[in-house]
Amino acid sequence: MIKGTFPIDKFKGLKTPFYYYNIELLRETLETVNSLISKYGYHQHYAIKANANPYILRIIAESGFGADCVSGGEVQAALDAGFPVGRIVFAGVGKADWEINLGLDNDIACFNVESLAELRVINELAADKGKTATIALRVNPNVDAHTHAKITTGLQENKFGINIGMLPGVFEELPKLKNVCFTGIHFHIGSQITDMSAFRDLCIRFNELQDNLEASGITLENANFGGGLGIDYYHPNHIPMPDFENYFASFHKLIKQRPGQQIHFELGRSIVAQCGSLISKVLYVKEGEVKKFAILDAGFTELIRPAMYDAYHHMENITNDGTIEIYDVVGPICESSDVFGKDVKLNEVRRNDLIAFRSAGAYGEVMASQYNCRSLPKAWFSDQL
């Protein structure tokens, strides 16, 4: 079995479970994206929610990314990590007043507004401060992302964004809202998208919308296509990076970019997923009547994706090279959904072996919880061990 490279000796004595980040891979991924971004003259943001570890955030900020936030806490995390305030954008269907005020006080680049009700509140709060808020409208393009139902966001029945049919009403009211300044359109159609036709559909929808808006005298200074690019959870060793080249080239080919118009992207998972692994220790090997269970010290409290999204994570026994056997891999949490995988092939598992969950850098550590009074996992970094 081909396995990832881990500094096993340095793992000795570290309290499990913990997250381990390959910082070299993170930097390589950032460089790849940055070179394509500058080739096309686009603007890149990192979606903080994928992984908000302060050290990871600092590295991404230093590499030249802006930040995409979906809460006031994330706006604060972006500021603390050194993302330039002029490149922080703020989306989310339920922005509380304090969160909007935090954005206004810091003069963030853009509020991506998800309803007319929110637009009115931002206008009011900006007026109270004698400010003008820069806004874009998050549009729901009714595009099927062909991904898991729990991470699809761009269909008409989703809570996100403003449906295209309701835009005329918003544009009618906009001129009356004196403390907001409209600059463009924002989309985000879902996550872990591997079918590029979803992005093609998005580009087509954008071009139509742009033509229609221009016909009524509305021009778009900014167009933001969100994130969603998927990664290969099955082959983390062979495909450590998604095909960024093809991704940006497809947009470049399809979108009708107007002169001077800024094109933005907000990548989350595709930046951080492959550089992170959850490292867990085997507590027991339990022989059932028909199955063998590998019982780990990590559960859905450390990595919730399998329980929440039926997600697959490649697992490796990084301690032992013995014969391949079949296990149900489970955690210690008192919930029957605390199962990482059924009939998983692993090199023979013994008590105290370390099991690595690959591709866990996105929506892993950041979604950890303290359920069952557990403590949050610690993170270690390849350049600091």
Ligand X SMILES: *Cc1c(COP(=O)(O)O)cnc(C)c1O
Interacting residues with ligand X (CB under 6 A):
47, 49-50, 68, 70, 91, 188, 191, 226-229, 266-270, 362
Select 161 or 299, whichever has its Cβ closest to ligand X.
161
Task: Measure the CA–CA gap between 110 and 87, rounded to whole angstroms.
Answer: 8
Q: How far is the CB of 199 from ligand X (least distance, A)?
A: 12
Select 264 or 314, whichever has its Cβ closest to ligand X.
264
Q: Which of 305, 317, 308 is nearest to 350 (CA)?
A: 317
The answer to whether 274 touches 236, Cβ cutoff 8 Å, is yes
- For the record, the structure tokens of 80 come out as 């603390």
What residue ranges in 161-304 does DSSP mark as E strands?
162-163, 180-186, 222-224, 262-267, 276-287, 292-296
* Residues constituting the chain: 385
Q: How far is the CB of 352 from ligand X (least distance, A)?
A: 34
What residue ranges in 11-109 does DSSP mark as E strands?
18-21, 43-47, 66-69, 88-90
Amino acid letter at 163?
A: N
Strand partners, 315: 357
The rounded Cα 200 to chain-centroid distance in angstroms is: 20
Tell me the C-alpha to C-alpha distance, in Å, between residue 138 and each of 47, 111, 170, 266, 351. Answer: 15, 9, 12, 13, 50
Select 189 or 209, whichever has its Cβ closest to ligand X.
189
Select 266 or 338, whichever has its Cβ closest to ligand X.
266
Q: How far is the CB of 79 from ligand X (least distance, A)?
A: 18
Q: How far is the CB of 303 from ligand X (least distance, A)?
A: 16
Quick one: DSSP state of residue 364? T
Tell me the C-alpha to C-alpha distance, in Å, between residue 296 and each of 176, 271, 349. Answer: 59, 28, 11
Q: How far is the CB of 110 from ligand X (least distance, A)?
A: 11
Q: How far is the CB of 281 from ligand X (least distance, A)?
A: 29
Select 272 or 379, whichever has its Cβ closest to ligand X.
272
Select 201 or 266, whichever has its Cβ closest to ligand X.
266
Select 229 or 329, whichever has its Cβ closest to ligand X.
229
- For the record, the structure tokens of 43 come out as 């603007």
Q: How far is the CB of 158 from ligand X (least distance, A)?
A: 12
Q: How far is the CB of 191 from ligand X (least distance, A)?
A: 3
Q: How far is the CB of 186 from ligand X (least distance, A)?
A: 7
The rounded Cα 287 to chain-centroid distance in angstroms is: 38
Task: Measure the CA–CA gap between 245 and 261, rounded to whole angstroms.
Answer: 21
Q: What share of the chain is helix, strand, coil (3-state, %, to 5)?
A: 35, 25, 40
Select 227 or 331, whichever has its Cβ closest to ligand X.
227
- Residue 145 φ/ψ region, left for φ over 0, alpha for ψ in the -120 to 50 degree band, beta for the rest: alpha
Select 50 or 100, whichever has its Cβ closest to ligand X.
50
